[in-house]
Amino acid sequence: MMKKRVVYFVLCLVIVSCSSTKTIVEHPITFNEERKILTLEYLQNRYGLEQDSPKIQPKMIVLHWTVIPTFEKSFEAFDPVTLPNWRPDIKNVSGLNVSSQFMVDRDGTIYQLLPETTMARHVIGLNHCAIGVENVGGTEELPLTKAQLKSNIWLVKYLKDKYDIDYLIGHYEYTLFENHPLWLETDEGYRTVKTDPGPQFMANVRIAVKNLNFKDLPVKQ
């Protein structure tokens, strides 16, 4: 009888651990009419997409780090509608502020800043099809945490189950898509060098989600 109870207890632990869930906390950034207009202009000017709403069809998840030490300060950076010091009179320069759909705090709390299918400006050339996940921190003094890793893994699985997503990338890998059909950036000179969220973090996430069968990344020619 005791042996059966032990086996049953162990089985329960396995079931609980495999079915663990997380809570996504709604913490929206400002998305008013001005941000909507700027987003639609961005889609048209950068990608040649004329749309009535700033919706995306998610085909990719992009992981980032904020290099800002707290969630509060990271949120403050994304909440304004326009970029700091933006001048509307300068042509061909979008004033749309950077943002992402999700942000993961250092304790692993997952915050949702925008609806999953609303475009956020977080990755050159691919915003029209990419869900962004920012991670608070990322500096040498504040490396990403184990709690953040676990939450990123959970969130990737959640999004993959919900949408027909083909690719999982780190921000530093975005230029691999320059000759890919998903790449729509019209400005050949508009590129920035990125390192987030680091190769080791991406490797750890990919090991944990390898059964999801994401497509291999393009090989840069």
Mean pLDDT by 10 residues, the chain (221 residues): 38 39 95 98 96 98 98 97 76 86 98 98 98 97 98 98 98 97 95 97 98 95 71
Contact call for residues 121 and 98 (beta carbons, < 8 A): yes
DSSP letters of 48-97? ----SS-B----EEEE-----SSHHHHHHHHSSSB-TT--TTSTT---BP
Domain boundary assignment for the chain: 22-83+92-212
Distance CA 157, CA 161 (A): 6
pLDDT at 104: 98
Looking at this protein, which amino acid is placed at residue 20? S
- Among the four given CATH numbers 3.40.80.10, 3.40.50.10490, 3.40.50.720, 3.30.70.20, the one describing domain 22-83+92-212: 3.40.80.10
pTM equals 0.89
- Which letter, b or e, does each residue of 17-46 get, where b requires 16 or more Cβ atoms within 10 Å of its Cβ? eeeeeeebeebebebeeebeebbbebbeeb
